[in-house]
Structure formats: C-alpha cells, structure tokens
C-alpha cells in the first residue's frame, strides 16, 4: 500500500503564535482526492484539524485551499495528479486565517455585495408579481452564461497579484460578477454599478496577469470578463456606449389554441 505525506499549515489562534507546518503520513488509494486525504488525516492523526468542505464534488466552492502552491478546490484535486508524494496544503492566501485551513472570506463577499450582484430593474411590480418571462435570446444568454458558473470559491482572489497587496481592489470574482450582470440584458443596473467600478475598487488595477483564469476550477475566466468590462467602461467614458433598455417582459402569445386531444393543465393548488 502506497503512502503519501500531507504537510498541512496549521494555526490554532488559542494556542499558536504563528502558523506552522505539520507532517502526516497516510495510506493512498487510487482516486483519492486531497479532501479525502484531509479526512484521513483528521480521522487518524489530527482530530482538531479544521477546514471547510461540503459537496465534495466541485460545485459548492467551500474547499478552496493552496495545494502545492496552487489555489484550487481540495475535492477536485486528485492526489495522483499532483505528481509528487508530498501534498502541501495551506489556507488560501490573501484572506485572514481564522484557523488551520479556514480563511475569512467576508472581505470578498463585501466587495461582491457592493457591486450589486443581482438583476437591478425599475419595474418593481413585475419583479414582485411576475406576469411572464423576460425576453432574452440564446445569443444574449451566451454573453454572460460563462461568468454565471462562478461558485465563489475564492481561488481567483488568492491567485491575483493585485489583490495580494491591495485590499481596496475588488478582486476578480466581484468584478467578473459585475460584468455578468452588466451584460445580462434583463438588468438595468450599469449606472449604479459604475459608481463603484469607476473608482479604486474597479477593474483598473487589473493588469492581466491572468492567474485568476488559470486557477478557476469552473472555467469562468474572470480575466476575460474584466477585460470585456474595461472596454464597456472606456466606451462609456467616451460616451460611445450604446444604452440598452432592460429586456421587456415577453408578451404571451394570444392567437393560440390548444391542439385536439391535449389535456388541460391541472388547476393550481397554491
């Protein structure tokens, strides 16, 4: 049975002055992910080890960690793909460490919140009591769909060189999400988001190092979103940006008849 070594950066604020590396050896089986290894370490050697994880299948974004120097999801990383017998696991950089492998992600969430990551529209009644769908073509959907796959894991923020020094910079995730909503034709919040985007928290500190897109576990490509957003903002500054009205409600077809033999839908129960 093969063994692998886990070097884990541990820090208990109640007992330690500084984070420190601890080394553990566990048995390896084919198909083991780094997250599986962490559970083994916790079971056999370090019951007090702390980290965040949930879905164990790469969709919740909880287990972002620095694994052998690269920010990535622990559940998505096979130990065998690392190409070495030593797995070094540390908490995501650029975030405060709460304990062991648990980062404080609230600054990222606050920056995200400041950029209004939801559809902003003026027609409140339609949003409260919807009468129909908002009209959006497949082509319009394609313009922002890639960026909507973000699971807010924070790996991009850990990889960004600007976010490494500058906490006032929003970071790749909030900015990519701002672009996701700016490009969504159902949204009318460009002017509101511009308040934040035109200043220090905007995309102007991005210099296309591209690390965010390299490490993103879902292929969201935040670097691309940010550059596309810069184009929109520059055009807006030069008064060359086409103002688009938010997508209207799709009118229900009126001249239709149910085909013969097709039963009616059951009555609503709510």
Tell me if 51 contacts other proteins by CB under 8 A: no
Placement of tokens 């030593």 in the chain: 86
Q: Does 162 interact with other proteins (rule: CB under 8 A)?
A: yes
Among residues 29, 168, 192, 250, the one that binds other proteins under rule CB under 8 A: 168
Query: Collapsing DSSP states into helix, strand and coil, what is residue 127?
Result: helix
Residues from 80 through 119 that contact other proteins (CB under 8 A): 91-99, 103-104, 106-107, 109-110
Pick the binder of other proteins from 214, 241, 246, 249 (CB under 8 A).
214
Q: Which is nearer to other proteins, 26 or 75 (CB)?
A: 75
Q: How far is the CB of 235 from other proteins (least distance, A)?
A: 9
Bridge partners of 22, per DSSP, are: 8
Does the footprint of other proteins cover residue 136 (CB under 8 A)?
Answer: no
198-229 burial, b at 16+ Cβ within 10 Å, e below that, comes to eeebbbebbeeebbbbebbbbebbbbbbbebb
Binding mask 188-207 for other proteins (x = CB under 8 A): ------xx-xxxx-x-xxxx
Query: Measured from the CB atom, is 45 or 241 closer to other proteins?
Result: 241
Measured on CA atoms in the order 59, 181, 124, 111, is the torsion positive or negative?
positive
Piece in contact with other proteins (CB under 8 A), picked from 121-129, 218-226, 240-248, 253-261: 218-226
CA-closest candidate to residue 150, choices 97, 207, 224: 224
Closer Cβ to other proteins, 53 or 227, answer by number = 227
Integer Cα distance of 55 and 160 in angstroms? 25
Please identify which residue in 231, 244, 248, 250 interacts with other proteins, judged by CB under 8 A: 231
Provide the minimum distance between the beta carbon of 20 and other proteins in the complex, in angstroms, as a whole number.
12
């Amino acid at each position: 049975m093969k063994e692998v070594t886990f070097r884990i950066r541990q820090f208990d604020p109640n007992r330690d002055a500084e984070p420190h590396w601890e080394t553990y050896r566990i048995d390896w089986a084919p198909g083991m992910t780094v997250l599986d290894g962490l559970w083994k370490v916790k079971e056999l050697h370090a019951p007090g080890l702390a980290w965040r994880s949930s879905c164990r299948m790469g969709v919740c974004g909880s287990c972002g960690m620095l694994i052998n120097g690269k920010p990535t999801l622990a559940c998505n990383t096979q130990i065998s793909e690392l190409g070495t017998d030593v797995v070094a696991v540390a908490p995501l950089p650029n975030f405060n460490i709460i304990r062991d492998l648990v980062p404080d992600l609230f600054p990222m969430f606050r920056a995200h919140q400041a950029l209004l990551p939801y559809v902003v529209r003026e027609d409140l009644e339609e949003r409260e009591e919807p009468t129909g769908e908002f009209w959006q073509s497949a082509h319009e959907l394609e313009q922002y769909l890639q960026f909507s796959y973000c699971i807010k894991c924070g790996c991009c923020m850990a990889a960004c060189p600007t976010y490494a020094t500058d906490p006032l910079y929003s970071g790749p995730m909030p900015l990519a999400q701002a672009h996701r909503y700016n490009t969504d034709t159902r949204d009318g919040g460009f002017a509101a988001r511009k308040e934040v985007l035109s200043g220090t928290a905007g995309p102007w500190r991005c210099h296309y190092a591209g690390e965010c897109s390299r490490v993103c576990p879902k292929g969201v490509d935040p670097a691309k979103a940010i550059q596309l957003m810069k184009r929109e903002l520059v055009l807006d500054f030069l008064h060359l940006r086409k103002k688009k009205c938010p997508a209207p409600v799709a009118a229900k077809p009126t001249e239709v008849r149910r085909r013969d033999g097709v039963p009616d839908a059951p009555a609503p129960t709510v």
